[in-house]
Structure 1
Amino acid sequence: MSSGLSIVLFPVALGIVMLGLGLTLTVDDFRRVVAYPRAVFVSLVCQMLILPAICLGLVLAADLRPELAVGMMLLAASPGGSTASLYSHLFKGNVALNVTLTAINSVLALFTLPLIVNLSLAEFMGSDGSIGLQFGKVLQVFALVLIPIAIGMIVRRRRPAFAARMQRPVRILSVVVLAVVIVGAVLGVREEFAETLGAVGLIALLFNLISLAIGYAAPRLLRVGHRESVASSFEIGLHNATLAITIGLSPALLNNSDIAMPSAIYGTLMFFTAALFGLVAARRDRTTADRTPEPTPAA
């Protein structure tokens, strides 16, 4: 895929995905944090602090080459995506909690993602600040993520019936556009993709499994309900690979296919591992009969 085409298609693809997310959100989704304070707190700590530290450990242990190391850290810094809500719905998680976490994570990642990526670039590639997510590029990420979400939320608020009708078409369109863009990008570097799979595939798989496990175990250790823990697991385990791939491949951002490769591999693997985890979680739910959510504070 040519760089000129990439400049247009990657932002468009991500914008469509974020618009679709915005059509599902309301201001109340951000306020809902008070209903699940413990679950939200644990999930955010895992997402923002624990998982990047674990990913760094995996990267150092595997002695990945610099571009792949930065790519893994970019993935770890990416928030959860709308896929988490879909899996949570399929496997009886608390979807409202997923929506809340996605909304909050998307905002926090605007600050944490550039910080982690720039530190990784400095550590692994010796960046002196002349490349990477500089302030101007952070604003671009801000625009790519928040503006379409804001537009979607405004449409949802002013034309709720229209927004409801458009959710499915926009979701389908986003899948089609993303598939075309990502497949085109991978075909353009297919030899590199095959080589990278051998180099980073196991690390991406391990990171995905660890993310899913911690996302469930950490809330349960703090007596968060099963459904909320399932939602947390999907939110933490299904990183927004689309956002990471876009940042890695877009000529306006990092413009490095090697950096995007770990996210492309992870984004493929996570659909299968998440389904397996969901089946295990559903079986555990049946055997323990634990369907009690975290209590909602009294008004």
Structure 2
Amino acid sequence: MSSGLATVVLPAALAVIMFGLGLGLAVADFRRVSAYPKAMIAALACQMLVLPVVCYGLVRAFDLSPALAVGMMLLAASPGGTTANLFSHLFGGDVALNVTLTAINSVLAVVTLPLITNLALDHFMSGDDEIGLQFGKTAQVFAIVLVPVAIGMLVKARAAAFADRMHKPVKITSALILALVIVGAIAKEAENLAGYVEKVGLAALLFSVISLTAGYWVPRLVKVDRRQAIASCMEIGIHNTTLALAIALSPSLLDNTEMAIPGAVYGVLMFFTATAAGFVLRRGEGASARIESVPAQEAQR
């Protein structure tokens, strides 16, 4: 990726995406945590504990290079993206829970993302003392994650009609930007792409499938209702890959194209795996409805 694209376009792209997230949020979304305590705890446990452990296991199982390993852990630490809200809506999830999870995850990521990334850097690339997200770089992560969100929320509070009109165009722009970022990251490493995809493709695919599965079944195991479990499934299974790419590629942060490859590969795969998961869950809902209708029909006889 050219230095101009990485230095100017990528941070601006992420700012647009996070601003779009803010346009869909209100202070009430943060207050709503108390309405979904069990669902929130289950989903956050998946995001903060299960995913990093699963990702580390995959990194070890596939014996990835240090840079690709860090890229995978950076991906695991990235919060859910706004696309999760759309997938949740399409497949019968509780979108209000999605919005709340996205809001909380985005705030927590300011702490957890640098922490997990630095642990990964120290573990996999301990010989390079110049790489890492020190305090100044962590402050940049704070700025690119939360400041645009806060501005978007302010716009929504002051001009709700304008925010509603802009929400869809900003989402479309965000999708186009994500595609541009992925193409740019892949083009930069075109010569090595086949080798990278061979090494990290299956790991990224398994990580996506496991994320979606854990996102649904962990809440279900603690008796969270189906709609909220679907919301959790999409939130945990669809990461903010633009954030992971921005941190990996930005010259002022990690400045490592190889670390961006897992996020770029995952960013393509997640749309297919999330769609497949949605259809599986929809079929399961139909089967459950048919089973539940049998006793009712018998009772009427």
- Normalised by the size of structure 2, how large is the TM-score? 0.94
CA distance in 1, matches of 2:196, 2:157: 44
Question: 1:63 Cα shift?
Answer: 1.2
Question: 1:165 Cα shift?
Answer: 0.6
Structure 2 counterparts to residues 21-100 of structure 1, below 5 A? 21-100=21-100
1:27-63 deviation digits (Å, cap 9, x = unpaired): 0001111111100000001110111011111111211
Q: Quick one: which amino acid aligns to residue 286 of structure 2?
A: R
CA distance in 1, matches of 2:97, 2:22: 16
CA distance in 2, matches of 1:198, 1:130: 29
Determine which structure has more spread, i.e. the larger CA radius of gyration. Answer: 2
**Which residue does 1:12 correspond to in 2?**
12
Structure 2 counterparts to residues 248-287 of structure 1, below 5 A? 248-287=248-287
Q: Quick one: which amino acid aligns to residue 145 of structure 2?
A: V
Residue range with higher mean Cα deviation, 94-103 or 171-180: 171-180
The RMSD of aligned alpha carbons is: 1.2
Question: 1:182 Cα shift?
Answer: 2.8
1:162-193 deviation digits (Å, cap 9, x = unpaired): 10011112122222233233323321221222
> Is the contact made by 1:73 and 1:117 (CA closer than 8 Å) also made in structure 2?
yes
CA distance in 2, matches of 1:283, 1:5: 43
> Is the contact made by 1:121 and 1:127 (CA closer than 8 Å) also made in structure 2?
no
Percent identity (aligned): 60
CA distance in 2, matches of 1:196, 1:164: 41
Partner SS for 1:17: helix
- Structure 2 gap ranges (5+): 293-301
Partner SS for 1:63: coil
**Which residue does 1:296 correspond to in 2?**
none
CA distance in 2, matches of 1:214, 1:184: 31
Q: Quick one: which amino acid aligns to residue 69 of structure 2?
A: A
**Which residue does 2:148 correspond to in 1?**
148
1:188-212 deviation digits (Å, cap 9, x = unpaired): 2212222200001111111111111
Structure 2 counterparts to residues 63-212 of structure 1, below 5 A? 63-127=63-127, 129-212=129-212
CA distance in 1, matches of 2:154, 2:43: 27
Number of residue-to-residue matches in the alignment: 290
Partner SS for 1:262: helix
**Which residue does 1:294 correspond to in 2?**
none
**Which residue does 2:297 correspond to in 1?**
none
Partner SS for 1:67: helix
1:231-266 deviation digits (Å, cap 9, x = unpaired): 001111111111101111111110101111001111
Question: 1:5 Cα shift?
Answer: 3.0
CA distance change for structure 1 residues 85 and 284 in 2, over 3 Å: closer, same or farther? Answer: same
CA distance in 2, matches of 1:177, 1:120: 27
Q: Quick one: which amino acid aligns to residue 214 of structure 2?
A: I
Partner SS for 1:130: coil
1:67-101 deviation digits (Å, cap 9, x = unpaired): 11111110111111101101000000000000000
Task: Tell me, yes or no, if structure 1 residue 239 matches structure 2 residue 257.
Answer: no
1:111-136 deviation digits (Å, cap 9, x = unpaired): 01111111111111115653211111
> Is the contact made by 2:185 and 2:261 (CA closer than 8 Å) also made in structure 1?
no
Partner SS for 1:255: coil
CA distance in 2, matches of 1:255, 1:13: 17
Q: Which runs of 4+ in 1 moved over 3 A?
A: none
> Is the contact made by 1:216 and 1:229 (CA closer than 8 Å) also made in structure 2?
yes
Q: Quick one: which amino acid aligns to residue 94 of structure 1?
A: D
